[in-house]
Structure 1
Amino acid sequence: MKIEVLFPEYCNLFADSSNMKYLQQCLPEAEFIYTDYMSEPVFVTETVNLIYMGAMTEHMQSMVIKKLMPYKERIVELIKQDVPFLITSNALEIFGRWIENEDGTKEKALGIFDFYAKRDMMHRFNGLVRGHFGDMPIIGFKTQFSMAYSQEFKYPFIQIDRGTGMNPKVNVEGIHLNHFYGTYLVGPFLVLNPLFTKYLMKVMGVEQPVLAHEAVIMDAYERRMKEFMDPKVEF
């Protein structure tokens, strides 16, 4: 089993790198390939069981778009082939149509999904999210300078119960198509959502997924879920 982590030297903000640190503890036999920015991604020529990319600076978003644009058709092909992707925080914006700056200028992104991001660098948004993916509860944190917009979010990942979705006017969060899972949530996402982590391992081909430190992480999850269910907690 191969897991490719894209550009870990840059895409590691908000503890997002801990997503793969935890997954590595869950899958000690798996091969984790950490592809640096100067190298060709392994997914271009090989079969992998998961492609992961996490949060980055706004400047790095431009660099990552430039890096991945030649592989756009390959990425689309892999999504159609049900290859799992986990994309967190503002890395999700790389897969939209464009990223708009405060002055109205737009930077073309990969254009794989029909949404765009709009930056407001003078106002960082921080908040909590509680929602569900199917019948699976999902919780997490948001910290971002941008929101995402679309006439219709056709492929939502999380239905929001409390908190802010892709923007304050919609109750959906993230992108889910086949086995592509993209979300603005940070935290790190896999540690905060062990039920989804187990689900993801199944999607990756693990027949009987086992969580590392399962008793501890499930206890923490249940405690946090109780907190997120408290109506007094501000989202």
Structure 2
Amino acid sequence: MTVEILYSEVCNLFGDIGNVRYLEKSLPDSEFIYTRLGEKPYFAENKVNLIYLGSMSESVQALVIKELEPYKSKISNMIADGTAFIITGSAVDIFGKSIIDGDSGEVLEGLGLADIKVIRDMNHRYSGFVLAEREGLEFAGFQAQFTQTTVENPEHRFLKVKKGRGMNENCDYEGVKINNFYATNLLGPFLLVNPLFTKKLLSEISGKEVRVAFESEATEAYKKRIDDFKNPSIKVH
């Protein structure tokens, strides 16, 4: 199994590098390719099973869009063919049509690979936790974002929010799912905080059951966190 980690030298905010470390520990026999800014992505000419991209600053978003722009068609085909992508935090924004500055009106064109609209307001940052679910599986995570995001196609909405805020203040969904393309603003690190999802996804990708790193401890912590988030006395922010 081949995993490509994109731009981890700059796309590692909010502890998202923990997602990379968890993948490394959970897939010790896999090949990991670490692509840096300015390098041609490995996926451009080679088959990969999983691509990971983590949180980045607003200035880095523009750089990453420029880096990936030549490979939009390739990425689109990979998504259609079922290649797995895990996109976390602010990395989600770059896959949409545009990122609009809510104050100046300035528009940063995105890759246009997901039907999302992003409005950024640097004067208002939202922080809190989220309890969500999909097909009976519960998810926990944390938000720290300046954005209000709309996923225009209901079929591409990843999670149903049960407690906390969605991708914008007026919705009850979080994240994007298109085939095996998973994109979420949730932090944690997301993969470590949600080991049952991570185990399920990695097992599906590899075609065999994967025992994720620290599985029993991570699962125990996950169940405790889910119970805590359900507690009515616990506020979301």
Q: TM-score, normalised by structure 1?
A: 0.97
Paired letter, 1:54 = G
Q: In 2 relative to 1, CA 6–151 (structure 1 residues): closer, same or farther, beyond 3 Å?
A: closer
Listed one character per residue, the Cα deviations across residues 184-206 of structure 1 (whole Å, up to 9, x for unaligned) are: 00110011000001011023214
Which residue is 1:195 aligned to? 196
Paired letter, 1:145 = F
Contact residue 3 and residue 48 of structure 1 kept, 8 A: yes
Question: Structure 1 stretches of 5 or more lacking a match?
Answer: none
Q: In 2 relative to 1, CA 122–197 (structure 1 residues): closer, same or farther, beyond 3 Å?
A: same
Q: CA deviation at 1:149?
A: 2.3
Q: How does 1:1-235 map to 2 (within 5 A)?
A: 1-101=1-101, 102-235=103-236
Residue 158 of structure 2 aligns to a residue whose secondary structure is strand
Paired letter, 2:25 = Q
Paired letter, 1:126 = S
Contact residue 84 and residue 203 of structure 1 kept, 8 A: no
Rounded to whole Å, the distance in 2 between the matches of 1:225 and 1:169 is: 23
CA RMSD after TM alignment: 1.1
Q: CA deviation at 1:158?
A: 0.5
Rounded to whole Å, the distance in 2 between the matches of 1:115 and 1:95 is: 8
Amino-acid identity (%): 39
Q: TM-score, normalised by structure 2?
A: 0.96
Rounded to whole Å, the distance in 1 between the matches of 2:207 and 2:19 is: 17
Residue 65 of structure 1 aligns to a residue whose secondary structure is helix
Rounded to whole Å, the distance in 1 between the matches of 2:17 and 2:48 is: 19
Structure 1 residue ranges, 4+ long, deviating more than 6 angstroms after superposition: none
Rounded to whole Å, the distance in 2 between the matches of 1:211 and 1:82 is: 22
Residue 110 of structure 1 aligns to a residue whose secondary structure is coil
Q: CA deviation at 1:32?
A: 1.0
Residue 91 of structure 1 aligns to a residue whose secondary structure is helix
Count of residues in Structure 1 that have an aligned counterpart in Structure 2: 235
Rounded to whole Å, the distance in 1 between the matches of 2:196 and 2:37 is: 31
Rounded to whole Å, the distance in 2 between the matches of 1:194 and 1:202 is: 12
Contact residue 115 and residue 153 of structure 1 kept, 8 A: no
Paired letter, 2:174 = E
Rounded to whole Å, the distance in 1 between the matches of 2:34 and 2:148 is: 29
Rounded to whole Å, the distance in 2 between the matches of 1:183 and 1:16 is: 12
Contact residue 127 and residue 163 of structure 1 kept, 8 A: yes
Deviates more, 1:41-50 or 1:209-218: 209-218
Listed one character per residue, the Cα deviations across residues 147-188 of structure 1 (whole Å, up to 9, x for unaligned) are: 112554440111111111110111111100100000000110
Contact residue 97 and residue 113 of structure 2 kept, 8 A: yes
Contact residue 117 and residue 152 of structure 2 kept, 8 A: no
Rounded to whole Å, the distance in 2 between the matches of 1:150 and 1:51 is: 21
Rounded to whole Å, the distance in 2 between the matches of 1:59 and 1:65 is: 10
Question: Structure 2 stretches of 5 or more lacking a match?
Answer: none
Rounded to whole Å, the distance in 2 between the matches of 1:189 and 1:54 is: 10
Paired letter, 2:195 = P
Rounded to whole Å, the distance in 2 between the matches of 1:10 and 1:133 is: 31
